[in-house]
Structures are given as structure tokens and as C-alpha cells.
Chain A
Amino acid sequence: MVERDSTTTIPLWWVLGTFHTVALGLALLLLAYPGGGLGSLLSSLSTVSGIALFGALWATTLFCTRQALAGLDWLSDDPRAMGTFFWRALRWGAVNGMLFLATLIAVQLVTAATAPATRATFQLASALFVVLLYGSFGTVFAAAIGAVIGVTLGALDIVALRVARSLTRAG
């Protein structure tokens, strides 16, 4: 198995998980910037919370990618392995969407509870309402969006695998 010795091989979950995070981040930037909406979107984020959110997305994506690849000979490009991979991409993409939403809510609540501008008006009852609202309806949407993104990125992974194979054949 190619992942056992980290000095002679590359952990595939690390490569694919980071690729997924960076590709998603770049796609969002490329979609938001030409329309002029990026400035207002980012104005609600501080530098630290922006880095924290990206770091959280990176961490949850690495975890979910590792779970999706567990026990799977992904490099074989075997049709059965690829079929299993797509189902796992769908499932773990949904889990990643939910995990990221939970992180997003936690960061927003901690920011609201600790920031000097909002600390005085922060109410526990309102925070609980936000958690219940997003925890119920938000989770369903986050899972659906995460599943779609998971399958899309899984398809890109397989395209990259086939490009690598074709380069070897052509070489």
C-alpha cells in the first residue's frame, strides 16, 4: 500500500484533501471577485477569523477525505473502486458540509460573545435560537451542498488520475 511509509510515499488523503480545500477556495474567489461582491463578503470577516475559517475547512476536509479513502485502492482506477469512491465522496462531502457549518456557527458565536462591540448585547437565548435554527434546517442544506461539492471534487480527482495515467502511456 502506497501510504504506509511517509518518507518514501505521499499520503494520498493529504494531497487530495488539500487539493479539495484549495480548489473550493479558488472557485469561490473566482466566482465572487469579477461580480464585485468579494469586498462586501470579506468585510464581515477579520483577517484572523478568515484564516481560522479556512483552517477549519482544511481540517474538516482532510478528515473527510481520509475517511473516504480508507481501505480503498484509489490509484488502481478499478471501476468498482471508483464506484465506491463516488458514493463515499457523496457521503463524506455531506458530512464535511455539516462539520463546516458547525464550525462556522461556533466561530460566529464565539466572536459575538467575545468581541467588544457585540459582547454587551450578546444574549444566551438568542445564541441558542441560532444554534437550533441552523442546527436543524441549516444542516440539511449544508449536507446537500457538501454532497454536491464532494461528488464534483471526486470527479476532478478521477480526471487527474486519468490524466496522470495518459501521460505515462504517452511518455
Chain B
Amino acid sequence: MAATFGGAILVTWLALRRDDHLVALAVRYEQVFWAGVGILVMTGVGNLGAFGLGLPAPSTTWGANFTAKLLFVAALVALSLPRSILVVRSAAGGDRRPLPFLYGATVAILAVIVALATLLAHG
């Protein structure tokens, strides 16, 4: 999560500054991002397995926060596929103008996910 969130902040900062190293760093970030998201979901499933039958019901506050977190992770994944495709195209010389908006949106969604994860961890 640290690499995914911290990396997104760094790439957003470079994108807003229109830095020359933006695309090279964005390519590296996308490689790491998908590994990070895969590991997050994989360990998340493992953690849910530890709850088993003790998993709180969807009608509880915890359940509402968990459902919201799942929806925000789904939104992150839905946003990230076009973003990665744009980075691939930018690396091949394509238009990079939408990147600041996409990375800014990535940071915003990740911030909400981190906040919800904190709420879930503290009951």
C-alpha cells in the first residue's frame, strides 16, 4: 500500500510539474502498481478467510465500511486500466495530457481506501 499510495503521490507531483521524467517514472509505477493491487486483494481474501463465520454482517457499521471499501477498490481498478494503457501509449510517444488528472484521481481514491482500511482495522 505504501508503494502504491506514495508512488501515486510522487507521479502526480511530477505530472503537475510536467517533468521530463514523468513517463519513465509512470512506467515503473504502473509495473509496481499492478503487483501491489494483486497482493492487496490476495492478502485481503486471506484476512477474510481468518474471519470465517465471524465475519460481521453487511448491515453493521463494519459491514457498510467494508462494502464501501470494496466499491472504492473496484473504482480504483476500473480507473487504473485506462491509465496504464495511456502510460503505455505515452511511452510510445502518445499524448500525456490526461495523466495529471488520472494520477490525481488515483491519489484521491487511494486516500479514501486508506481511511476506510483504518476504520475497519479499529472496528
Residues of A within 8 A of B (CB): 2, 6-12, 14-16, 18-19, 21-23, 25-26, 29-30, 33-34, 36, 38-40, 42-43, 45-51, 54-55, 58, 75, 156-157, 160-161, 163-164, 167-168, 170-171
Contact = CB atoms under 8 A, between A and B. Distances in A.
A39 B51 contact: yes
Contacts, number: 139
Chain B interface mostly helix, strand, loop or mixed? helix
Nearest to A55: B42
Contacts of B43: 51
Interface in B68-112: 70-71, 73-74, 77-78, 80-89, 91-92, 94-95, 97-98, 102
Residue picked from B37, B53, B66, B85, most chain A C-beta under 10 Å: B85
Interface residues of B, number: 50
Interface of B: 24, 27, 30-31, 34-35, 37-38, 41-43, 45-55, 57-58, 63, 66-67, 70-71, 73-74, 77-78, 80-89, 91-92, 94-95, 97-98, 102
